[in-house]
Amino acid sequence: MTVRPLTISGSFLVSSVSFGDERGDFFEVYREDVLTEALGYRPRFVQTNVSTSCRNVLRGVHGATTPPGLAKFVTCLRGSLLDFVVDVRTGSPTFGQWEMIVLDAHGGTAVYVEEGLGHAFVALQDDTCVQYQLSDLYRPAEVLTVHPLDPEIGLPLELPGEPVLSDRDAAAPTLREAGALGLLPDYATCLALRAARTQASAGL
Is 112 an active-site residue? no
pLDDT of residue 73: 98
63-100 pLDDT, tens digit per residue, is 999 999 999 999 999 999 999 999 999 999 999 999 99
pLDDT of residue 13: 97
108-157 pLDDT, tens digit per residue, is 899 999 999 999 999 999 999 999 999 999 999 999 999 999 999 999 99
pTM of the model: 0.94
DSSP state of 168: H
Mean pLDDT of 159-172: 93
Q: Give, in degrees to the nearest 5, the angle at Cα 199 between 193 and 204.
A: 125
pLDDT of residue 121: 98
DSSP state of 112: E
Contact between 153 and 146 (Cβ < 8 Å)? yes
Grade residue 183 by pLDDT with cuts at 50, 70 and 90.
very high
Mean pLDDT of 165-176: 98
Active-site residue, from 112, 132, 147, 187: 132
Q: How far apart are CA 4 and CA 8, in angstroms?
A: 11
| pLDDT above 90 coverage of the chain, percent | 86
104 has pLDDT over 70? yes
Contact between 134 and 74 (Cβ < 8 Å)? no
193-203 pLDDT, tens digit per residue, is 999 999 988 77
Contact between 25 and 33 (Cβ < 8 Å)? no
pLDDT of residue 107: 80
Contact between 151 and 90 (Cβ < 8 Å)? no
* Homologous superfamily, domain 2-195: Jelly Rolls (2.60.120.10)
- Rounded to the nearest angstrom, the gap between the alpha carbon of residue 99 and the centroid of all alpha carbons in its chain is 10
7-54 pLDDT, tens digit per residue, is 999 999 999 887 888 898 888 889 999 999 999 999 999 999 999 999
Contact between 159 and 56 (Cβ < 8 Å)? yes
49, burial (CB in 10 Å: exposed 0-12, middle 13-18, buried 19+) = exposed
Is 119 an active-site residue? no
Count the Cβ atoms, other than its own, within 10 Å of residue 125. Answer: 17
Beta-bridge partner residues of 4? 13
Question: Which residues have C-beta within 8 Å of that of residue 39, sequence separation ≥ 6?
Answer: 3, 12, 112
